[in-house]
Structure 1
Amino acid sequence: MSWASSEGARKTMRANRRRDTTPELEVRRRLHAAGYRYRVDYAPIGGRRRAGIVFTKAQVAIFIDGCFWHSCPEHAAVPKSHADYWGPKLARNVERDRETNASLVASGWSVLRFWEHEDPAAVVSHIRAVLSERSS
């Protein structure tokens, strides 16, 4: 028996990617075209917490968060069915994001979080500014 509420829900959940999402790929393409090299889906300080894009020398970890999974203030939607499951699940994701940020910052890393709906050009511009600041 599947953990999903229906076969349709199971297929939808399985189709969600942890890495190489469309917004992340677009940002990575733009960074690469600008001459930047980085690690992908990498745990900056070990353990299971992985950032989507990591600049190890500059110690910059970048996350491009999905609006649903990370409770975007603009686009978050609480599912109506199985709310007793989804409410705590999504709240825990947000809590885990905060814990990850705190661990990385405590280890000297700069953490950048963007939402999947943000303009990739603006995201790259922000990343480039932080990398420039961290390398000087």
Structure 2
Amino acid sequence: MADRISLEARSRNMAAIRGKNTKPELTVRRGLHAIGYRFRLHRRDLPGSPDIVFPSRRIAIEVRGCFFHRHGCANSALPKSRTDWWLKKLDGNVARDLRNEAALLALGWRLLVIWECDVRQDAEAVLRRAADILGPVRA
């Protein structure tokens, strides 16, 4: 019975995790907007529906969660239960990310990947790096 309760709690917890508008993504969006950049969100016509898109610059930004995209930092540790299932799931996410990145590059886009742990550690440094790649703010 206790195992069933823990599985149900895990299921509720995982169902509550969002794929869009996460805290790290919102932090990056707010920071870029405050600097003066204007952008589009989740363009479904682009491979992978990147989180932040600068169409005129042909630059896309993905803010990736360390766990679900297997960053390799301390936040991406594999759960101790159902390890085989999680490995298959997370490896599939990484393979999908690589396919989407290759497709974006083939379309002439550049992709900046921002990791959740980097945003949490030093959001200002992440924004400076993004601004360096994006170039000057346009009026």
Calculate the TM-score normalised by the size of structure 1: 0.87
Partner of 1:117, secondary structure, is helix
Q: How much does 1:17 deviate?
A: 0.8
1:94 aligns with 2:94: yes
Match of 1:121 among 124, 127, 130: 124
Tell me the distance in 1 between the aligned counterparts of 2:17 and 2:103: 26
- Is the CA contact 1:63–1:114 (under 8 Å) kept in the aligned structure 2? yes
Question: Which residue in 2 is equivalent to 1:58?
Answer: 57
Cα offsets for 1:50-101 (capped at 9, x unmatched):
1111111111110111111011111221111111211111011111111111
Confirm or deny: 8 A CA contact 1:60 1:112 kept in the other structure: yes
Contact kept in structure 2, 1:42 and 1:54, CA below 8 Å: yes
Q: TM-score normalized by structure 2?
A: 0.85
Report the CA distance between 1:15 and its aligned residue.
1.1
Deviations 1:23-48 (A, max 9, x none): 11111111111111111122353x5x
Distance 2:44 2:58 in 1: 12
- Of 104-113 and 69-78, deviating more is 69-78
2:83 match: 83
Moved more, 27-36 or 119-128: 119-128
Number of the residue aligned with 1:24 = 25
Match of 1:35 in 2: 36
Gapped regions of structure 2 (runs ≥ 5) = 1-5
Structure 1 residue runs without a partner (length 5+)? none
Please give the alpha-carbon distance, in whole angstroms, between the structure 2 residues aligned to 1:73 and 1:93.
14
Task: Report which of the two has the higher share of helix.
Answer: 2
Query: Structure 1 residue runs of 4+, over 3 Å off?
Result: none
Is 1:6 the counterpart of 2:2? The answer is no
1:1-39 Cα deviation digits (max 9, x unpaired):
xxxx82111111111011111111111111111111111
Question: How many residues in Structure 1 have an aligned counterpart in Structure 2?
Answer: 128
Identical pairs, percent: 41
Aligned partner of residue 111 in structure 2, secondary structure:
strand
Q: Over aligned residues, Cα RMSD in angstroms? A: 1.7
